[in-house]
A and B are shown apart, each in its own frame.
Chain A
Amino acid sequence: DIVMTQSPDSLAVSLGERATINCKSSQSVLYSSNNKNYLAWYQQRPGQPPKLLIYWASTRESGVPDRFSGSGSGTDFTLTISSLQAEDVAVYYCQQYYSTPYTFGQGTKLDIK
């Protein structure tokens, strides 16, 4: 199984500042035949189901604000929120969909400083 490890486990950022969450996979999730990284990011607000933010490591889902961006390739990935808003308080998860089981990271809790 591919193990997904996020860092940090939690962070607090001031409103308007940048937040960065990292995700590392135990093996590459880059599919060489199409040069796509099978990596997604989700946001889960309290009491809500997860919401897909980014897929293919860097493609924003429709309707997701452009302050959210994803980067990285192979085994190392980053979710960046360029200017933190109050509604961004949530737990963020990465997930690989390269091979089953489609494992999630342990989550990163983001709060306002």
Chain B
Amino acid sequence: QVQLVQSGSELKRPGASVKVSCRASGYTFTSYTMNWVRQAPGQGLEWMGWINTNTGNPTYAQGFTGRFVFSLDTSVSTAYLQISSLKAEDTAMYYCARDLYLAVAAPGYWGQGTLVTVSS
């Protein structure tokens, strides 16, 4: 069965960097794009962008350019989200999510989420 397992919670100081991992199993990793979604505490869902797992080409939503980088290691079926120069407002749950089917870009499989807390 499809599984997305994310790395554990992180506590970081402002200005530091963090790298969140999302390990996929149960399917061919390079056949489906991987989305990233942010949820600030008590807030709604924000689509951050996606990465084409076949080409490695990322697409970022406005507001997630510059400090946010999506990357892959296809040898271990893992997607990464790196955030640099962390700010307090980056405190959020970050989810990776795979498209449901090849023809359905709605994320149908979700990781459990990684809580990133930025605090001095």
Contact = CB atoms under 8 A, between A and B. Distances in A.
Contacts of A104: 44-47
A95 interface: yes
B14 interface: no
Contact of B106 (A49, A55, A101, A103): A55
Interface residues of B, number: 23
Interface in A54-113: 55-56, 61, 91, 93, 95, 97, 100-107
Given A61-B100, A100-B59, A101-B61, A107 B44 contact: yes
A95 B46 CA distance: 10
A40 interface: yes
A107 B112 CA distance: 19
Contact of B110 (A49, A55, A100, A103): A49
Given A55-B100, A101-B62, A106 B44 contact: yes
B107 A107 contact: no
A102 B62 contact: no
B100 A102 contact: no
Contacts of A50: 37, 45, 95, 97, 107, 110
Nearest to B107: A52
Main secondary structure of the interface of B (DSSP, over half): strand
B44 A93 contact: yes
Contact of A107 (B35, B45, B49, B50): B45
B108 interface: yes
B49 A49 contact: no
Contacts of B62: 1, 101
Given A50-B45, A95-B106, A104-B46, 14 more contacts: A42-B45, A50-B37, A50-B97, A50-B110, A52-B108, A55-B100, A55-B104, A55-B106, A91-B44, A95-B47, A102-B47, A103-B47, A104-B47, A107-B45
19 contacts: A38-B105, A40-B106, A42-B45, A44-B45, A49-B95, A49-B110, A49-B111, A50-B37, A50-B95, A52-B100, A52-B106, A55-B106, A93-B45, A95-B45, A95-B106, A100-B49, A100-B50, A104-B47, A107-B45
